[in-house]
A and B are shown apart, each in its own frame.
Chain A
Amino acid sequence: MNRHLAIVPALNEAEAIVAAIEAIHSRASGFDVLVVDDGSSDDTAARARSAGATVVPLPFNLGIGGAMQSGYIYALEHGYDVAVQVDGDGQHDPRHIPELLARLREDPDLNMVTGSRFLDPSGHGYRSSATRRIGIRVFASIVSLITGRRVTDPTSGFRMTDRRGIELFARDYPHDYPEVEAILLMHAHRLRSCELPVIMRPRLTGSSAISSTQSVYYMVKVLLAVFVGLFRRRPTIAAVEQPASAPEQSTVAAAEQTLL
């Protein structure tokens, strides 16, 4: 079995999912593909299965945070040592996956590599609405300030983690709009992450997970979580297990047993 997993969260992506899976198979052949179907009402799951992906069908919509964490729990229980998040809508070009993997392998102290839309040297930056770009910049400066390193694209979901990152995210992953908080979670557990320039394509189908009315909630929720997070102490995952909620721990314990 491959030791590398591509986690593809998908909600009603029947139009784009097959192309996304085939692109991962051809561009990153060392990666198994896991589609987490986050309660789709169309035939996303069936099409993903026919394209050769493993599918975890969630019984109802959990939101991106819960869906991604299902993927990390799967990666942990099945002994994967590298996991990469790839959107099911074709935004993330899988040809960057080998680049992310090479960067992760290059530095053994590195636990996560994020594909950033704003580091592209040729200047073909990501096109988006002005308000969204301002929001991203606000989060970028906050996250850079807290972590003490330059973060240009804190909302990018195109990221690859090693085994320690998988263990952390399987145990604790933010609920709504998780990307910004996940970077800070990594930082709080003294895991190291960096960015690599990627080019993201415009969406093939569907609409963004965040509508304009939701973006206010997005900003307030993430700012509150970041602020409260500053007053929270977390042990590193190398230390004694954090007494999280009971079901999460038993999942991890069960996973460790299956690994042994």
Chain B
Amino acid sequence: MTDAVTKITLQRGLAIAVTLGLLLLVFELVRRKRLSERYAILWLLAAATLLVLAAWKGLLTSLAGDVGISYPPSALFAVAIGLIIMLLLHFSLAVSRLSDQNKILAQRLGLLQQRLERSEDQAVEREPERSTVGR
């Protein structure tokens, strides 16, 4: 979209095509179970918002006018950047939670392995005792 596209209609067509493509991509990723529904909902919301703004010319123009943006497509970028920042924040939260959980898992695994090794050692130590008692 950074090419020397001067016609607003062509730009709109591109914006619509890109957001539609994003919607389809998200759908296909969910279908293949590569993306879980929890995160798909966010992406679908973002893509749908952009699609509405790209397709409904009057809305974008009046929104741009309200906030004093003279070039309406810039308003589209502003909204897109806002959505991207929200998505990024959401993913930072998700990554923080995952790394916390990962740490807890590693700790539990280490403690369990130590317990298992100790009980295996004890079982080996007990084995000769039992055989002598058997005799």
Judge: A and B partners, yes or no: yes
Interfacial residues, chain A to chain B (CB-CB below 8 A): 59-60, 175-176, 217, 220-221, 224-225, 228, 231-232
Residues of the A chain whose Cβ atoms lie less than 8 Å from the Cβ of B104: 59-60
Scoring B residues 97 to 134 as 1 if CB is less than 8 Å from chain A, else 0, what string do you get?
00001001100100000000000000000000000000
A221 touches B37 (CB 8 A): yes
Number of residues from B at the complex interface, CB < 8 A: 13
- CB-CB < 8 A to A224: which residues of B? 30, 37, 40-41, 44
B108 and A175 within 8 A (CB): no
Measured in the bound complex, the distance between the Cα atoms of B88 and A79 in whole Å is 44
Q: A228-B27, A232-B31 are in contact. Are A175 and B40 (CB under 8 A)?
A: no
CA distance A60 to B31 in the complex (A): 28
Instruction: Tell me, rounded to whole Å, the shortest Cβ–Cβ distance linking B117 to chain A.
Output: 19
Instruction: Give the Cβ gap from B31 to chain A, nearest Cβ, in Å.
Output: 5
* 25 CB-based A-B contacts, threshold 8 Å: A59-B101, A59-B104, A59-B108, A60-B101, A60-B104, A175-B36, A175-B37, A175-B38, A176-B37, A176-B38, A217-B41, A220-B41, A221-B37, A221-B38, A221-B41, A224-B30, A224-B37, A224-B40, A224-B41, A224-B44, A228-B30, A228-B31, A228-B37, A231-B31, A232-B31
- Give the chain A neighbours of B27 by CB distance below 8 A: 228
Q: How far is the CB of A245 from chain B (nearest CB, A)?
A: 9
Q: Which residues of chain A are within 8 angstroms of B37 by Cβ–Cβ distance?
A: 175-176, 221, 224-225, 228
| Per-residue A-contact encoding for B5-23, CB less than 8 Å = 1, 0 else | 0000000000000000000
Across chains A and B, which 8 residue pairs bring their CB atoms closest together, nearest first?
Answer: A59-B108, A228-B30, A59-B104, A221-B37, A225-B37, A224-B37, A228-B31, A231-B31
**From residue B61, how far is it (CB to closest CB) to chain A in Å?**
30
* CB of A173 to closest CB in B, whole Å: 12
Alpha-carbon distance A100/B126, docked complex (angstroms): 46
Prevailing SS type, chain B contact patch = helix
Q: Please, which residue of chain A has its CB at the minimum distance from the CB of B35?
A: A228
Residues of chain B within 8 A (CB-CB) of A59 are 101, 104-105, 108
A70: shortest Cβ distance to chain B, in Å? 14
Smallest Cβ-Cβ distance to A217: which chain B residue: B41
Query: From residue B50, how far is it (CB to closest CB) to chain A in Å?
Result: 18
Cα-based distance from A228 to B37 in the complex (angstroms) = 9
Contacts of A220 in B (CB 8 A): 41
Q: How far is the CA of A41 from the CA of B27 in the complex (A)?
A: 37
In the assembly, what is the distance between CA of A176 and CA of B108, in Å?
24
CB distance from A218 to the nearest CB of B (A): 11
Shortest C-beta distance, B114 to chain A (Å), equals 16
Residue of B nearest to A221 (CB): B37
CA distance A59 to B109 in the complex (A): 10
Q: Which residues from B are CB-within-8-Å of A175?
A: 36-38
A37 to B104, CA, bound (A): 16
Which of A175, A225, A228 has the most B CB atoms < 10 Å from its CB?
A: A228
Q: Whole-angstrom distance from the CB of A188 to the nearest CB of chain B?
A: 13
Complexed CA–CA distance, A193 and B24 (Å): 33
Chain A, residue nearest B97 (CB):
A60
In the bound assembly, the distance between CA atoms of A221 and B40 in angstroms comes to: 9
Expressed in whole angstroms, the Cα–Cα distance for A259 and B116 within the complex equals 22
A13: shortest Cβ distance to chain B, in Å?
Answer: 21
Chain A residues whose CB sits within 8 angstroms of the CB of B41 once the complex forms? 217, 220-221, 224
